[in-house]
Structure 1
């Protein structure tokens, strides 16, 4: 133990004697470790944001979208329906589900679209969410002022609307929007409520730049369609979500008159399945980006090996003297290997400090959410140590094998 502590002390003395060279040698490790930890923190942050966003729309949800995902491409267009199956879901399907399902609290249709909202001489392009009165509790729409639209509003295709905070700021400023009339794609709508601010989602989309209107109003007066983009149902409990998903699938197959050998023209996914898929995607992203960043660590390791070989050449006479006074090969090996590891670990610590700084800045001044975990720090330090050992072993062995007589003759 005493021999090792002495080697560490000598290693730090060597670094202090060549500060600039030591820093330049560590730079590759600093960048590599910093990049890996920062990328992992961004990945973990994104995963948490995705989970939070999905959970934020409600609990125990079952999401039904048009089209069969086993046959068609994935992506956002799948969420709103591919051309051939986009009309697969209707409001009647929602009524059938609510009438026959025994494991659900309720179900609500949804149409998502983009429209221009106008108040006086001000315009704003917004996301339009159209649904039934049950969306308030199924989608977790929190009303700030006023009221949500009612079943009567849905039945009568009422021209009523609730607006998000960004829409209020852009169109009204400090004016109270309650009761005001706005135009959505040229049609008059009366504001009956405002929605509590939600902020941006994990992709940087402003969730408050939105309005919500009755589903029938959107179908009959705005878009002229008889289908919906999706149906969201709520299971009575988390324990029954799987059975409830099967129940919804059976009801829709029967409603769509599908033969036993016909594939679904819709896709049923539970909130848990969606979270698993999104979690897998963000994990793959994190691993891929971190692996790419890890290449910088390998480059840093090569830099350490090169500089240690230079150090062996410069200190050949010193090695000869140490061997002449009794130092064994293992002592020389330990000394140079320790110097290599100290270089690498010091670079790793500086890299972690750099990553923490970057993560804090990203968290405070951008839309990104970051989360530096203890695992990423331990992994980075472990990787730094392994890099130091792996790339330091050859220079250390070369130093240990030097002939003391020839080493003493070296000028």
Structure 2
């Protein structure tokens, strides 16, 4: 009950300070407002950027390891020409990995070929990316089917001329029509549309999602495009189990099976690459942490100024209310009561400044953005309020101690 009374009295005193010296108080709180705005806006934009970039990488899949000829990042001391001597992954290795791996919930092989032209009578679309995939491809990668269905096992293994198409392909080849069941031509062969994918638009990385993708069974793909040393190079994707933290068990398994299939001796180096999308995501997270530190530094100076402003208000408040403090003490108020009263007041004033800063950030999120959706998270709101409380406590502790230690007789005579 005493804490509720302290809280209510502190709010009342803080309200009096605001009304009595409105301009001075607002100017003093401006530093906290700007500081919280700077910090929370930076964190909000960084979180939004990171979320959008991670969403842009969703086509890589989660908990997936890619087995390929080329690594996604090159080691500094490794001779680049050795990569050329590596063999490409093949169907035999894909089938053996699918059969032998225990720490997996999906294994797929796929090829990609850019700059293709699809035709339907007088309609055509160029620069289409065609992917040939195995049946489990939708388990290791994001295939958002909006209409129709995904492939059946028989369609994939039989190499039937069926396809899933992106939104741009559907709009250009079949304008104003339902694309399901329609046909288009690719390299002179007719393919039947069994599914259409959701429209995604261009993502943060400049990649147009699945909108200009046509996905066909890998057996049908191999009829059209040459593979091997002088042709397209496939990749094998393996999705790990949720219980395999860090996919370490899966990585050891893949490395063991691949080395066995390629008859590598214990001292031989790997002639294949195990690429992991989370390494790219971790690099992005590290970059954004640096930006976050910059936000703390920029906002920290403003908060420091705001903290001095609140301390100034509290010193003035102690001086103006010295007589009242003396009366309170003469009536039996304890030192901790006076101390908490002034601390609550300082925290309340700081929260007003921090709240205004958060409202400014919220205003930014309400501005329509086509390229980047900015969302103010509950985590960042909590961070802003927590920082405000800490600044209030630090700014108010010295004035509150001074007030709590006043001699009641001297304080009453001060007026």
User: Normalising by the residue count of structure 1, what TM-score does the alignment of the two structures yield?
Assistant: 0.69
Structure 2 counterpart of 1:175: 177
Superposition deviation, residue 290 in structure 1:
3.6
Instruction: Indicate if the aligned counterparts of 1:114 and 1:127 stay in contact, CA closer than 8 A.
Output: yes
Aligned residue in 1 for 2:198: 197
Shift of 1:164: 0.9
Tell whether the 8 Å contact from 2:318 to 2:399 is kept in structure 1 after alignment.
Answer: no
Q: CA deviation at 1:383?
A: 1.2
Asked if 2 retains the 8 angstrom alpha-carbon contact of 1:301 and 1:388, the reply is no
Structure 2 equivalent of residue 211 of structure 1: 214
Specify the SS of the correspondent of 1:109: strand
Query: Structure 2 matches for 1:210-249, cutoff 5 A?
Result: 210-215=213-218, 221-222=224-225, 225-226=230-231, 228-234=233-239, 238-239=242-243, 243-249=249-255
Cα 1:114–1:344, aligned 2, differ >3 Å: closer, same or farther? farther
Q: Distance in 2 between matches of 1:124 and 1:35?
A: 46
2:392 is matched with which residue?
A: 388
For residues 198 and 83 of structure 1, the distance between their equivalents in structure 2, rounded to whole angstroms, comes to 37
Find the counterpart in structure 2 of residue 111 from structure 1.
Answer: 111
Structure 1 residues 335 and 307 mapped into 2: Cα distance closer, same or farther (>3 Å)?
farther
**1:33 and 2:36 aligned:** yes
Structure 1 distance, partners of 2:222, 2:135, is 15
**Consecutive unaligned residues in structure 1, runs of 5 or more:** 74-81
Residue-pair matches, total: 389
State how far apart, in whole Å, the 2-side matches of 1:321 and 1:359 are. 47
Partner Cα distance (1:382, 1:151) in 2: 58
SS at match of 1:246: helix
Q: Measure the CA separation in 1 of the matches of 2:372 and 2:268.
A: 45
How far off its partner does 1:84 sit? 3.6
Q: Matches of 2:395 and 2:217 in 1, distance apart?
A: 66
Distance 2:139 2:328 in 1: 81
Q: 1:231 offset after TM fit, Å?
A: 0.5
- The unaligned stretches of length 5 or more in structure 2 are 77-81
CA contact (8 A) 2:28 2:310 kept: no
TM-score (structure 2 length as normaliser):
0.69
Displacement after TM superposition at 1:257 (Å)? 3.2
Q: Is the 8 A contact 1:49 1:369 kept in 2?
A: no
Distance 2:325 2:153 in 1: 91
What residue number does 2:351 align with? 345
Q: CA deviation at 1:211?
A: 1.5
| Whole-angstrom CA distance in 2 between matches of 1:353 and 1:384 | 14
**Which stretch of the first structure deviates more once superposed, 392-401 or 253-262?**
392-401
Change (3 A) 1:387 1:127: farther
Give the 3-state SS of the residue equivalent to 1:192 in structure 2. Answer: strand
Measure, in 2, the Cα distance between the counterparts of 1:315 and 1:100: 76
Q: Secondary structure at the match of 2:387?
A: helix
- Residues of 2 paired with 1:242 and 1:154: CA distance? 31
Aligned to 2:167: 165
Question: Does structure 1 retain, via aligned residues, the 8 Å contact 2:86–2:271?
Answer: no
Q: Deviations over 1:127-152 (max 9, x none)?
A: 43332344355546465337638777
Question: Structure 1 residues 129, 145: closer, same or farther in 2, change over 3 A?
Answer: same
What CA RMSD, in Å, does the superposition of the two structures yield over aligned residues? 4.9
Measure, in 1, the Cα distance between the counterparts of 2:43 and 2:311.
Answer: 33
State how far apart, in whole Å, the 2-side matches of 1:250 and 1:39 are.
Answer: 45
Match of 1:372 in 2: 377
Aligned residue in 1 for 2:274: 268
In the TM superposition, residue 346 of structure 1 has moved relative to its aligned partner by: 1.0
The CA deviation at 1:109 is: 1.7
Q: Identify if the C-alpha distance between structure 1 residues 206 and 369 changes in structure 2 by more than 3 Å, giving closer, same or farther.
A: farther
What CA distance in whole angstroms lies between the structure 2 residues aligned with 1:70 and 1:141? Answer: 26
